[in-house]
Structure 1
Amino acid sequence: MPFPFPMTSTQVSFPAGAVEGRSTVLASEPLPGGRYGVVTEATPFHPLDHTWPDQPADTGTLASLPVLDCVTGAVGPEGEFLVGADIPVRRGEEGWAWLVVHVVDTPVAVGSTVELRVDADSRAALSASHTGCHLLALALNAALAPRWRKDPGRTDALGHPDFDSLAMDSSRMDTQASTDVYRIGKSLRKKGFTADDLGTNLPALTATVNERLAAWVAADAPVRVEAPSPELTARRRWACDLPEGHASIFCGGTHLHHLGELVALTTELRLSDDGSELTAVTTPKRR
């Protein structure tokens, strides 16, 4: 009996750190370039998010075939199948099914049971960068707190004005580091942020942030991803019990299990010549 195209979201195990699994193939669809998009009922693979592509996709194997890419797919109300940038709505839109699509060079039989194996070392490196990205956000918020002339109306989990959220322009990570770019423009200043002498004080600011990051790594705080359900569309949170208190950030990526998996975590802060852009490159060193 043929399997219908999936109209329920893929069940994912990557939030708990899984890198292996077995599942049934629900679809094997042709993609541009002669490749195929394989959808399974469940998967440990983390796909690239089509709306906020901060963490790259997992690679690995599916039924011994190399998984060359892993993208977000969706089935619309009329049964249309779309992937990546072609999806016209945000993930979780009502009436759509959300899928993890494993990109391979060969079609896979629908209805077959396959082994899925993620490249564990690449996953670990990406998880370290993603955890480092969130810790950087909290440490930077704390260090910049004195620069707010008034309450901007948004604070982070540790009670500091949420510069990271309010100024974020882009966030990207790879197996080496995370790179976060912040816009320091008129809208941020209107909210009460002052950038006066930020360039002059950048070395001291960097040292303050790195001291806090080092203390957090030394504390070996536990890290987890809180997921209300196993669907790809579940709204998950990164959570970490830091010495200053419990911290959590909405996040769809993968993470370390505890900060003691790192030897060190350091950031380099750079300010553009016109002072309108602050870039943080945060590098984890794994054990």
Structure 2
Amino acid sequence: MTLPTIDTTVLYPDGSLSSSGVVLHREDLPDGRAAIILDSTAFHPVDAAWPDQPADRGTMSRSIEPYSRVEILDAIVAATDGDSLFIGSDAPVKKGTPEWAFVVAHLVDGAAPFAEGDAVTVSVDAEYRRSLSAGHTACHLASLALNQALAGAWRKDVATDAAGSPNFDALAIDSSTIVPDGSVDVYRIGKSLRKRGFDPESLADPGAVAERANGSLSAWIATGAHASVERPNSLLTGRREWVCDLPDGRISIPCGGTHIGPLDAFEVVSVELAAEQIDGATIVTMRTESTPRR
């Protein structure tokens, strides 16, 4: 078989934890691993363009002799022009570029006996997926709550978030990392943000800002609001959005990750803020934690 010419069909946006697929391509890598490309997968990959959510954990198994079940060591978004496979940051084009296929590269030990044409089953670690999904949902909620808590810090009009608040999160974000049941988001407030009209003194007391954000989070979680991932198709490059019915209206945020579902899955979502001065800029770290409802 040649390299695929269409994007991988992905099932994880709907919460799937297992899938059956066919090996379209196997490529042995110099580091001793093999990249396995399937037509369809429930396994969430990391995207090098915005690697906030790690890949799922789980296994791949072959249902015919020689029977085999191996650990999936990693899963990464890859691109192919039909002739070559480019994994992760090696891709020379952005996801969605016409005439390119974007696929999930499942990385396994090179000794695994998977071959092109094999029927395989992918199984995802359910608890790890749940914890990352909860972390990603909590991260979105925390960013909205932080934007709301800092809404009075702007002297000029700037782009707003899905809930209508000035979008500090998007304008100041330096890095975002989803962790089990939470996230770590780092923001940089330098000259460019000050020129946009942001007052750094609004974060002179990070604890007070966090308290306001936590008030919003508590109110939102208490509603048990419906939330889901909406998408136009099942392809890896299909535009997906996290949609949530908050008290002030429905919000929609573009997102390629996985999510927990309705907000009644949470007992608590809360944030802590810390700020420090580095090289003339204010670096703000927001740590978000969630507790699942038992």
* Cα pair 2:133 2:181 within 8 Å, conserved: no
| Residue 197 of structure 1, CA deviation | 5.1
Cα distance in structure 1, aligned partners of 2:133 and 2:202: 34
Q: For each residue in 1:222-272, what CA deviation from the matched residue of structure 2 results, as whole angstroms up to 9, or x when unmatched? A: 111111111101111111111121111111100011111111111110111
Name the residue aligned to 2:30.
32
* Cα pair 2:53 2:132 within 8 Å, conserved: yes
| Residue 110 of structure 1, CA deviation | 1.3
Aligned structure 1 segments of 4 or more residues deviating by more than 2 angstroms: none
Aligned length: 282
TM-score by length of 1: 0.95
Against the structure 1 CA distance between its residues 107 and 82, is the aligned structure 2 distance closer, same or farther, given a 3 Å change threshold?
farther
Q: For each residue in 1:170-201, what CA deviation from the matched residue of structure 2 results, as whole angstroms up to 9, or x when unmatched? A: 111121420111111111111111112522x2
Q: For each residue in 1:102-126, what CA deviation from the matched residue of structure 2 results, as whole angstroms up to 9, or x when unmatched? A: 1111140211211111111100000
2:267 counterpart SS class = strand
Cα distance in structure 1, aligned partners of 2:85 and 2:113: 17
1:47 counterpart SS class = coil
1:82 counterpart SS class = strand
Name the residue aligned to 1:92.
96
TM-score by length of 2: 0.93
1:100 alignment partner AA: V
Name the residue aligned to 1:162.
167
Q: For each residue in 1:21-79, what CA deviation from the matched residue of structure 2 results, as whole angstroms up to 9, or x when unmatched? A: 111111111123211111110001110001110000011011122111111111126x1
Name the residue aligned to 1:286.
292
* Cα pair 1:38 1:107 within 8 Å, conserved: no
Name the residue aligned to 1:101.
105
Matches within 5 A, 1:133-212: 133-152=139-158, 154-196=159-201, 198-199=203-204, 201-212=205-216
* Cα pair 1:36 1:107 within 8 Å, conserved: no
* Cα pair 2:136 2:178 within 8 Å, conserved: yes
* Cα pair 2:224 2:264 within 8 Å, conserved: yes
The partner residue of 1:227 within 215, 224, 231 is: 231
Does 1:217 pair with 2:221?
yes
Cα distance in structure 2, aligned partners of 1:198 and 1:208: 12
Against the structure 1 CA distance between its residues 197 and 112, is the aligned structure 2 distance closer, same or farther, given a 3 Å change threshold?
closer
Cα distance in structure 2, aligned partners of 1:161 and 1:167: 11
Cα distance in structure 2, aligned partners of 1:186 and 1:228: 40
The partner residue of 2:15 within 4, 14, 17 is: 17
* Cα pair 1:266 1:282 within 8 Å, conserved: yes
1:172 alignment partner AA: T
Cα distance in structure 2, aligned partners of 1:253 and 1:141: 21
The partner residue of 2:138 within 107, 112, 132 is: 132
Name the residue aligned to 2:64.
none
* Cα pair 2:35 2:107 within 8 Å, conserved: yes
Cα distance in structure 1, aligned partners of 2:72 and 2:170: 33
* Cα pair 1:269 1:281 within 8 Å, conserved: yes
Gaps of 5+ in 2: 62-68
Cα distance in structure 2, aligned partners of 1:111 and 1:117: 19
| Residue 148 of structure 1, CA deviation | 0.7
Does 1:7 pair with 2:5?
yes
* Cα pair 2:3 2:84 within 8 Å, conserved: no
* Cα pair 1:20 1:117 within 8 Å, conserved: yes
2:277 counterpart SS class = coil
| Residue 273 of structure 1, CA deviation | 3.1
1:67 alignment partner AA: I
Cα distance in structure 2, aligned partners of 1:237 and 1:116: 25
Name the residue aligned to 2:274.
270
Cα distance in structure 2, aligned partners of 1:239 and 1:169: 24
Name the residue aligned to 2:118.
112
Cα distance in structure 2, aligned partners of 1:176 and 1:160: 25
1:55 counterpart SS class = coil
1:276 counterpart SS class = strand
Name the residue aligned to 1:45.
43
* Cα pair 1:149 1:193 within 8 Å, conserved: yes
% of aligned pairs identical? 45
